Structure 1
């Protein structure tokens, strides 16, 4: 049998886009003479509809779209995902099997993801293993449940995404007992760095353990704002990998096929071959560029605006926009690139005809990225040079203006109102914050003028301790770096300079990270204000990814960090963490890129008001 699977770049409620992608995939599969096509989980509606799944109308509309899709499936078997409202009171996450324009049945998901970024039990009900029944819709009766299907003498059944992550309790074990030869897994499995290695083994190891063929299809792209899907497709049999695609594509539809022999199957391997080691630097840039490209086009914005300080975070933002242009242009070609973004004029496209590839990238980056350096008396020549040279090297528009006049204006008003002068000795935080805060209005003006997205530059390490000025450097439409830590970003910038050819990064890579908000003679640095970033990141991970208490974190780190210094760092971290939850609640939307993030709307919830770990920190002495 020729088995096909398609990764689709879907969008919640975008019926036209979603059905066009599904139709495209079906047509490609039929043209390839595929016997069966697997489409991703909830591909009709999109995975990220959230509380709209609870409405009566959304599942009904999805079913109506299913009936349209059914008629496209001539001489092919297609599995497509949608929510099914069952007997008017519960909703199931299902995969529908269509054979030659006839709906054969619906398999309902048995295990619902309820950790990290997932909240499926809020919307869906788990289906009991082994149960089968029927339901009626629009005057017809359909089978639903834990079904086994047959095609060309081959029996097949489903694991739907989370079903496969449940160890020995996964449905595959029961499928084996029922003689199933082929398992299909339609998924909406979010991207995280190095996760593909785990997913590879879930699929390929299962094909060996359960003596079957296994087909896996994931969603693709930034579907609904925060979550990125890598579009992974895997086909395996008896521990042998038959097909694995290129991840994180800019395509709308990535269809892949693999031939699987069920009469003379591949021999069971002794040991599943390991996946090649994952380079997280490459994964990060692939994921964030696709996430930004989709966010730009799906928000119908016309570009990005960035307050380019010359520091690590804003420089990383600038480079990933330039890299987004380069990668999307290389994969899609100019015509498809321009059509998908829909922001370039006919005059722009005419100019591009006479440019070489590098010049095209520079021109397009200049059309999509506008930057500004907003200096004060406390800003250094080094950061100005870093910002200017980087912008010039990637082709971004670069403006430069000072904000001292605005700072003096606000400071003078307050001094007059309270009847005293503000000084660094008594008003340190106030005098720092006003500089960051007065940068926001002008850069927002540029974003409004350009109908563009303003990029906020905070990273995860800063979010953990609230090391940011609310309504200042946190201002933005999207915060692309907030899912990764500062130490990762700093080494990634060095990697990007060496491996991606961004020589303009040489300036920032020679600087110590600093907010540059205090007078120069104070030699302000981030790590002097906080603690060394590697230690901050270790505390953060142990506290909120591994969910350890302050004392457990201390015990884990006391052999790596001098104990008295560690106690000081722990007390500072937990105090700043607890005090600044309100900031994390207000950060611009961020992408989930690592194995965890601190966004309370996606991964980590924490009370805005709390006891601040006072009792726990006392135990440290």
Structure 2
């Protein structure tokens, strides 16, 4: 008997407890696989419920309903083998499992052993790790099946399993199998981060060599639950050689990748798609997909943005335009309308952007003609709807009210922060009105560097439904804008890229710039990585960077960073949800937790 099988993995764009969407994607992937003659299809981790259900996993009803949905899928798996991920309640514990179904019949449940519990992951809050090498029996729909550290024989080959984190840590489950396997299936929910795909590919290839087998990995796709983005990786390797790689970050409900493997002769067809070249290209596609999915899954009609003409808001406007362009290329207008749930008036990316993106330049007496022209020209170049108005009357009214109350005039010498903040806050109510009127998402414009040091006005530029660039630093934002102008064709960014970043909240004769207020953005980025990503104390940060900068300046910058970081945790607790792009972030709800009240590093800063 020839042991030649057509194997496939499929990435799925799922949504927590969206049963109709999730099962439709599962059925569609199975149907396409069968049409293409696939023998075995691997679907991602927890694909029935969605990975991001969080504390819903602790409920009694969710695992029960997931099992009901699994039974509904069985008739669609005739003449094919499929792995489907779901939570299972067993002996009053919740396990993260994948069920292998062969020809409409459940063959068994593999239960995850190594739970992800670092960075953005909190799996041990919801799931119990399965003991290594243990196999038990479970009743499902009146029948008994094996559950645990199982292997399954299918068409003459032996299949083993790992689920995501199982493969990323020492003492892996497949190191403890009692029998050699020909194929390892790894259904995953591995979040996007810059450069992670290369590490993941290396892991899959090395795993296939280590276990002398074919290794098949299938990830989720898209912005599943709000913060995490999944890139849709499907990777297949055979005995140390990559034989299959999927397109990543595509605007589809699912994407299938298949290869044919000859297990007797250790050969295979190859199906290797190209991948992105660097962080800036990855960011364009990841952020664009995240925004598109967030919009449609929140049932919004598009986006509203206070477009200042500066780097941050211009980045967001450009990303939305790029998302429209990419989605239109990949899905067509009908596909966009189907996913968004409403009709689009235009045919071109510019016409569709005009409908989906509404912008407004909100001037004060401190705003410049240069930033107005920058905002206006960018909006016109991408097709966005553009309004402009001034808010001086509203600012003056607030100022007059408080001056009357306290019995004195406000001055820039005594009341600098107050006078800056009231301008930013006054912009918020009117731009919120526009978002409410159009049933669109209001974009908050803060970046991660501003989040580090609190260089943002609460209820001003932090106002919004989503903060799409809060996961990247300002140094990267400025680099990406140059890339977008020169490599993505967004020529309307020319004026944006010629401006020095400034809040434009002080009078023009004070020549306010962001870096004068803070420090050079490149320095801020380096201090941030040492302090937050690597967890170093102030003196350790200094020791890491002292060869690059004049020592007194560096010490002053480090002191400013830690003082502002400590003082502004309350702001980070209140920021709108953000996307995870880097190998770390500062969102206390998804990566870095820090006390709101603390000693402020006083003793540590004295050592400088």
Q: Normalization by structure 1: what TM-score?
A: 0.95
Say which SS state the counterpart of residue 507 (structure 1) adopts. helix
Q: Does 2:188 correspond to 1:170?
A: no
Find the partner of 1:131 among 134, 144, 157: 134
Say which SS state the counterpart of residue 108 (structure 2) adopts. strand
Find the partner of 1:12 among 3, 12, 16: 16
Say which SS state the counterpart of residue 592 (structure 2) adopts. coil
Q: Which whole-Å deviations, capped at 9, do the CAs of 1:333-357 have from their partners, x for residues lacking one?
A: 1111111112326xx2xx53xxxxx
Say which SS state the counterpart of residue 372 (structure 1) adopts. strand
Aligned twin of 1:583? 571
Find the partner of 1:159 among 153, 158, 162: 162
Q: CA deviation at 1:240?
A: 1.5
Q: Does 2:7 correspond to 1:3?
A: yes
Find the partner of 1:64 among 57, 65, 68: 68
Q: Does 2:454 correspond to 1:453?
A: no
Q: CA deviation at 1:390?
A: 0.3
Whole-angstrom CA distance in 1 between matches of 2:379 and 2:141 = 59
Whole-angstrom CA distance in 1 between matches of 2:401 and 2:160 = 71
Find the partner of 1:514 among 499, 502, 520: 502
Aligned twin of 1:613? 601
Aligned twin of 1:206? 207
Say which SS state the counterpart of residue 65 (structure 1) adopts. helix
Aligned twin of 1:182? 183
Aligned twin of 2:219? 218
User: Contact (CA 8 Å) 2:444, 2:462: kept in 1 or not?
Assistant: yes
Aligned twin of 1:117? 120
Q: Which whole-Å deviations, capped at 9, do the CAs of 1:394-437 have from their partners, x for residues lacking one?
A: 00010010011111100000000000010000000000000000
Q: Which whole-Å deviations, capped at 9, do the CAs of 1:496-549 have from their partners, x for residues lacking one?
A: 000111111000100110000001111000000001111111111111111111
Aligned twin of 2:294? 295
Q: Which whole-Å deviations, capped at 9, do the CAs of 1:31-64 have from their partners, x for residues lacking one?
A: 1111111000000000000000000000000000
Say which SS state the counterpart of residue 132 (structure 2) adopts. coil
Q: CA deviation at 1:276?
A: 7.4
Whole-angstrom CA distance in 2 between matches of 1:277 and 1:329 = 19
Whole-angstrom CA distance in 2 between matches of 1:15 and 1:47 = 13
Whole-angstrom CA distance in 1 between matches of 2:70 and 2:211 = 31
User: Contact (CA 8 Å) 1:42, 1:82: kept in 2 or not?
Assistant: yes
User: Contact (CA 8 Å) 1:240, 1:266: kept in 2 or not?
Assistant: no
Say which SS state the counterpart of residue 14 (structure 2) adopts. coil
Q: CA deviation at 1:138?
A: 3.7
User: Contact (CA 8 Å) 2:276, 2:282: kept in 1 or not?
Assistant: no
Aligned twin of 1:23? 27
Q: Give the 5 Å matches for 1:84-95.
A: 84-87=88-91, 89-95=92-98
Q: CA deviation at 1:278?
A: 3.4
Q: Does 2:321 correspond to 1:322?
A: yes
User: Contact (CA 8 Å) 2:162, 2:187: kept in 1 or not?
Assistant: yes
User: Contact (CA 8 Å) 2:248, 2:275: kept in 1 or not?
Assistant: no
Aligned twin of 2:253? 252
Aligned twin of 2:197? 196
Aligned twin of 2:353? 365
Say which SS state the counterpart of residue 179 (structure 1) adopts. coil
Whole-angstrom CA distance in 1 between matches of 2:545 and 2:31 = 57
Q: Does 2:107 correspond to 1:104?
A: yes
Aligned twin of 1:376? 364
User: Contact (CA 8 Å) 2:137, 2:145: kept in 1 or not?
Assistant: yes
Whole-angstrom CA distance in 1 between matches of 2:152 and 2:531 = 46
Whole-angstrom CA distance in 1 between matches of 2:275 and 2:156 = 36
- Say how many residue pairs are matched: 600
User: Contact (CA 8 Å) 2:220, 2:231: kept in 1 or not?
Assistant: yes
Q: CA deviation at 1:140?
A: 2.2
Whole-angstrom CA distance in 2 between matches of 1:571 and 1:558 = 14
Q: Which runs of 5+ in 2 are unaligned?
A: none
Q: Does 2:422 correspond to 1:434?
A: yes
User: Contact (CA 8 Å) 1:459, 1:484: kept in 2 or not?
Assistant: yes
Q: Give the 5 Å matches for 1:436-585.
A: 436-585=424-573
Aligned twin of 1:270? none
User: Contact (CA 8 Å) 1:238, 1:266: kept in 2 or not?
Assistant: no
Q: Give the 5 Å matches for 1:374-453.
A: 374-453=362-441
Aligned twin of 1:143? 146
Say which SS state the counterpart of residue 506 (structure 1) adopts. helix
Say which SS state the counterpart of residue 204 (structure 2) adopts. helix
User: Contact (CA 8 Å) 2:247, 2:275: kept in 1 or not?
Assistant: no
Q: CA RMSD in A?
A: 1.2
Q: Which whole-Å deviations, capped at 9, do the CAs of 1:251-306 have from their partners, x for residues lacking one?
A: 10101111111010049xxxxx9x97831111000000000000000000001000
